[in-house]
Amino acid sequence: MHRLVEPGTLFMGLALLALAAIWLVTWNLAAREQSAADRRAAVLAADMAGTYEAQVVRALREIDTTLKLVRYSLDERPPQVVLDELSQQDMLPPALLFEVRLSDAEGNVIASTHGPSHTNDTTPVAGQEGLRVELHHQATSAQDSRLAFHRSLSENGQQAPGWVSVLVSAEYFVSGYEPDTLEKQGVLALAGEEGIFLVRRTGETVHTGEQIDYAHLLEGNSGLEQPARVSISEWDGVPRYLVARPLFEFPIAIVVGLSQNEQMAAAAELRHTYYWRAMLVSCVALAVLTLLGRLSWKLRRAQTKVLEERLDHARRAEYLAFHDNLTGLPNRAYFSRLLTKGMQHARRYDKPLTLLFLDLDRFKAINDSLGHDTGDELLREVSQRLGRAVRESDTVARLGGDEFVILLPEITEPNQINQVADKILASVSTPFTLVGQEFRITVSIGIARYPADGEDEQTLIKHADVAMYHAKEEGKNNAQYYSEQLKTDSLERLALESSLRKALERQELLLYYQSKLDMASGRVIGMEALLRWQHPELGPILPKQFIPLAEENGLIVPIGRWVIYTACRQNVAWQKAGFPALSMAVNLSARQFLDDGLLRDIKGALQASGMAPELLEVEITESMMMQDMPKAVRVLQELRGIGVRIAIDDFGTGYSSLSKLQAFPLDTIKIDGSFIHDLLDNAGDRSLTEAIIDLGKNLGLTVVAEGVESAAHVEYLRRHACDQIQGFYMHEPQPAEEAALSMKKWFGSESTS
Ligand code: C2E
Ligand code: MG
Ligand code: MG
């Protein structure tokens, strides 16, 4: 039904209908015209036949009367005298047309109205009674052919044998008609019983003496009133409305024929006109309908276009509603739907499902130091890498910020999950090139499995998130499974916050120390103070577990102050105990670094302990410097101003542009332990480490490698002229007394105490 009203179909149908109507009417009209013309011609022929018949009969009767009159008038006088007398009395037909003759039994003319010189051309057969007709045919000219009407003089036995005859030009019987009515092919004729045309006129031409099949001619010819029928004339093959009728009193038949072609010519012309008009009207109708069809098609197309645009718009709107603008990945709302659906599917078919919760490590630092455009670029790149790292049946979505989730249907085997996680970790940690520089970013992954780790969408996501936090705590760039224990941990984190407030007062915080070894001399030349929290119930807590908390709630400022004071005191205590003057490094957090009281606190600690400022080294990270460069430069210059040394910690993970380092007053670069860790397996880490060493040397800085764990590391770093090393290779961070013992080993015999 819908197809029927489509403009193409509709207008095609209309056009066909219009054409059918036009031609039906035209054919109808033409047919009617034809049959009317046909009837008219038939009637006309019949009428003409009637008139012609009457005319011929009248002429024949007159002739017969003359014959009888002459025969009756004959007496003892010579026949010529009788004829002359009759002629003078105007009793005979006009001599101009008619010749009256008398002949003897042998046919010799004995008297004539046209004089005696005539040859004997009348030879009626003896013994025949009544009026007889004979054609005197002149082969040379039909005009000269004459019809002879004879009556025997001896009829009734009154006279001597012989004949009275009237001769008249054959043409006389066919000359009375208007050529207009007969036209060129109309026929008037008289046929004799013996099978010839006594005379036949067709148009202007007169023929005499042709043979015809008399019986066939009269066949099927009707009575007076009947209209004529068309038949093919045997003598010239022309189809005619033909009437052929024998005369009642005479041995003659009249023939009237009207040419069918001529009679129907007017009708045919009219029919032509009709057809022409129909053709014209058809063309116009077609043209109009084509135009309308085209217009309507255009209209329809325009409508379709508007419709499609709306649809497109709706689709786009829907797409935007469900996809993340930046990466084109499904957004939180869409993912939530997908997850619900996935869980329903998993429940119905008893299939497993695994959810990975991803958070980029230190993404904030990139965003802050390199600008949001670069951050966006990085997120886009990461989303593409994630897409490539998983199968097509897996779903990658972005929840916002630097958080991504990945749904792995039908996988719960740790083996398989680990493979996927490793692939993701590797793919993300491959260096990026952004704004012409190479960067490394890592990702922490939390894994939660359905149904073990959560039976509804909310719980599963939350637990994957908890696992992800755990991965961060485990040093980032790794994947962790959710477990009930983690949940307890995260609950404990809440409890921690309140107990952390009391930790300072309760003296639960303490410092561990780790030595730094100088490569050239092979001696310990400094210490780094690393914070520990001895929790009464939970036991020792590592800084990464509570420093972010302290950062958040601001406790880091008083805690940091305590660290500086304690570290300085310990340094001086060791000197007093006989150790050489070692440097003492303390770590600063971002909040602490920007705190206005920092300089005052450091001065206070130096004063209180009596430690030389040159021995104190503060460690800050790249991101802390980049957050507010001008302020960072100012603070560092102030610290420099009082003689404190400055180290940049965890170098290589913060994406700072190398050239920017020059802006800061620095003394030391510490290469992040993560590069050292994989040094021997990872070419990227090797080249980065070497680059940092080179850079440090070029800037005139002391280069320290952190996380040095093996002799192989030491060997490598020695070969590449790294200045100092720090790590488990010497000893793990330890409380002051133990650290002193470990330190001694490295002083060996040179130890003073
Ligand atoms: P950091 O300053 O880079 O300290 C080095 C970290 O690497 C220490 O972790 C240390 O235990 C660990 N480490 C040392 N040698 C090795 C090794 O050979 N292999 C491995 N795998 N690790 C090694 P720790 O003590 O857990 O401290 C973690 C971070 O917490 C520190 O990183 C520092 O950024 C922060 N931190 C520590 N103490 C303080 C503090 O008093 N104040 C502030 N603001 N931050 C602190
Ligand atoms: Mg440090
Ligand atoms: Mg470090």
The answer to whether 236 and 202 are in contact (CB under 8 A) is yes
Going edge to edge, which strands form the sheet with 132-136? 109-112, 98-104, 162-169, 146-152, 132-136
d(CA 499, CA 579): 36
- In this prediction, residue 751 carries a pLDDT of 38
Nearest CA to 527 out of 232, 290, 733, 318 is that of 733
Enumerate the CATH 3.30.450.20 domain ranges in the chain, comma separated: 174-263
Model pLDDT, residue 145? 86
Checking if the pLDDT of 655 tops 90, the result is no
Flag whether pLDDT at 339 surpasses 70: yes
C-alpha span between 410 and 352 (Å, rounded): 5
Tell me the CA–centroid distance for residue 506 and ligand 1, in Å. 23
Q: Residue 638 has which token pair?
A: 């102030």
Residue 3 has pLDDT above 70, yes or no: no
Q: Which of 335, 336, 355 is nearest to 463 (CA)?
A: 355
Q: In angstroms, rounded to a whole number, what is the distance separating the alpha carbons of residues 546 and 531?
A: 10
Residues with CB under 6 Å of ligand 1 are 514, 530-531, 542-544, 547, 560, 563, 587-589, 619, 649-650, 673, 706-709, 727-728, 733
> Could you give the CA distance from residue 391 to residue 378 in angstroms, rounded to a whole number?
22
What is the 530 CA–ligand 1 centroid distance (Å)?
6
The whole-number pLDDT of residue 475 equals 83
Residue whose CA is at the smallest distance from ligand 1 atom 15: 727
Contact status, residue 69 vs residue 151, Cβ threshold 8 Å: no
The residues facing 381 across adjacent strands are none
Q: With 70 as the cut, is the pLDDT of residue 703 above it? A: yes
pLDDT of residue 624: 85
Residue 498 has pLDDT above 80, yes or no: no
Closest CA to 532 of 523, 516, 520, 545: 545
Helix (H) or strand (E) holding 640, with range, is helix 629-641
pLDDT attached to residue 115: 76
Q: Give me ligand 1 centre to Cα 585, in Å.
A: 11
DSSP states of 469-502:
HHHHHTTSSSEEE--HHHHHHHHHHHHHHHHHHH
Ligand 1 closest atom vs CA 619: 2
The arithmetic mean of pLDDT across residues 51-70, rounded, is 91
Pocket test for ligand 1, best of 587, 592, 649 (most atoms within 8 A of CB): 587
**Residue given tokens 């890592």 in the structure block:** 442
Confidence of residue 750 (pLDDT cuts 50, 70, 90): very low
Which tops the pLDDT comparison, 445 or 623?
445
Q: Where in the chain are all domains bearing CATH 3.30.70.270?
A: 311-482
What would the mean pLDDT of 644-654 be, rounded to a whole number? 88
Which ranges in the chain are annotated with CATH 3.20.20.450? 513-531+552-752
pLDDT of residue 127: 56
**Architecture in CATH of 174-263:** 2-Layer Sandwich (3.30)
Which tokens is 530 given?
């690393």
pLDDT attached to residue 184: 87
Q: Which CATH class is domain 311-482?
A: alpha beta
* Atom of ligand 1 minimally distant from the CA of 544: 30
Banded pLDDT at 713 (limits 50, 70, 90): very high
Q: Output the CA 620–ligand 3 centroid distance in Å.
A: 9
Residue nearest ligand 1's atom 35 by CA: 543
Say which ligand is closest to the CA of 647.
2
CA of 175 to the centre of ligand 3 (A): 143
Rounded to an integer, the average pLDDT of 271-284 is 91
Give the pLDDT mean for 710-735.
Answer: 95
Q: Give the per-residue pLDDT at 599.
A: 95
Q: Of the ligands numbered here, which is closest to the C-alpha atom of 547?
A: 1
For residue 473, how far is its CA from the centre of ligand 1 (angstroms)?
12
pLDDT per residue over 539-593, tens digit each? 888 898 889 889 877 899 999 999 999 999 999 999 999 999 999 999 999 889 9
Lowest mean pLDDT among 16-30, 176-190, 696-710: 176-190
State how far the alpha carbon of 499 is from the alpha carbons of 534, 537, 552, 555, in Å. Answer: 11, 11, 15, 12
Please compute the mean of the pLDDT values over residues 463-475 and round it to a whole number. Answer: 90
* 26 band by pLDDT with thresholds 50, 70 and 90: very high
Rounded percentage of the chain residues whose pLDDT exceeds 70: 93
Residues with CB under 5 A from ligand 2 (ion): 587, 619, 649
Beta strands in 25-145 (DSSP E): 98-104, 109-112, 132-136
For helices 484-503 and 543-553, give the axis angle rounded to 10 degrees: 60
Average pLDDT in the 522-531 region? 95
Tokens 């100092």: give the residue: 724
Mean pLDDT over residues 714-736, rounded?
95
Q: In what order do the strands lie in the sheet with 239-246?
A: 205-207, 196-202, 187-192, 252-259, 239-246, 229-232
Q: Where are the alpha helices (DSSP H) in 250-371?
A: 260-322, 332-348, 363-370
Q: Give dist(CA 133, CA 393) in Å, integer.
A: 118
Split at pLDDT 50, 70, 90, the class of 285 is confident
Q: Quote the pLDDT of residue 225.
A: 62
Question: What is the token pair recorded at 504?
Answer: 């300072």
pLDDT of residue 753: 36
pLDDT level of residue 279 (50, 70, 90 thresholds): very high
Supply 448's token pair.
């939660």
Which residue puts its alpha carbon closest to atom 23 of ligand 1? 707
How far, in Å, from the CA of 603 to the mean position of ligand 1? 24
Is 157's pLDDT higher than 50? yes
Distance CA 307, CA 681 (A): 60
Cα distances (angstroms) measured from residue 622 to each of 666, 671, 672, 675, 726: 11, 12, 11, 16, 19
Tell me the sheet residues that pair with 257: 187, 242
Percent of the chain with pLDDT over 90: 44
Of the bound ligands, which one is closest to the alpha carbon of residue 544? Answer: 1
**pLDDT grade, residue 501 (50/70/90)?**
confident
Greater model confidence, 437 or 572: 572
Nearest ligand 1 atom, CA 511: 41
**Which CATH class name applies to 513-531+552-752?**
alpha beta
State the average pLDDT over residues 35-42. 90
Average of per-residue pLDDT values in the chain: 87
Identify which ligand lies nearest to the alpha carbon of 651: 3
Name residues whose C-beta falls within 8 Å of residue 734's C-beta, 6 or more positions apart in sequence.
Answer: 512, 513, 514, 742
Distance in angstroms (rounded) separating the CA atoms of residues 483 and 644: 46
Poorest-confidence range of 131-135, 176-180, 317-321, 656-660?
656-660
Residue 405, pLDDT above cutoff 70: yes
Cα dihedral: 150, 152, 158, 161 (round 10): 130
Q: Inter-axis angle of helices 260-322 and 7-73, to 10 degrees?
A: 180
Mean pLDDT in residue range 420-435: 91
Q: Of 494, 496, 461, nearest to 343 (Cα)?
A: 461
Question: CA nearest 124: which of 138, 113, 109, 112?
Answer: 109
Q: Could you tell me which residues come within 8 angstroms of residue 90 by beta carbon, excluding any fewer than 6 positions away?
A: none
Whole-prediction pTM: 0.46
Higher pLDDT, 695 or 728: 728
At residue 121 the predicted structure's pLDDT band, cuts being 50, 70 and 90, is low
Residue 376 near residue 326, CB atoms below 8 Å = yes
The pair of three-digit structure tokens given for residue 40, joined into one six-digit string: 């008219």
- Tell me the CA end-to-end span of the chain in Å, nearest whole number: 106
Distance from the alpha carbon of residue 618 to the mean position of ligand 2, in angstroms:
9
Burial call 539-566: b when 16+ CB within 10 Å, e when fewer: eebebebbbeebbeeebbbebbbbbbbb
Q: Which candidate, 746, 709, 711, places its Cα nearest to that of 728?
A: 709
Q: Are 68 and 151 in contact (CB under 8 A)?
A: yes
- Closest by Cα among 207, 244, 246 to 226: 244
Taken in order 734, 737, 741, 743, the sign of the CA dihedral is positive
Report the half-sphere exposure of 9 (CA within 13 A, side-chain side). Answer: 6
Task: Write down how long the chain is.
Answer: 753
CB atoms within 10 A of CB 9: 13
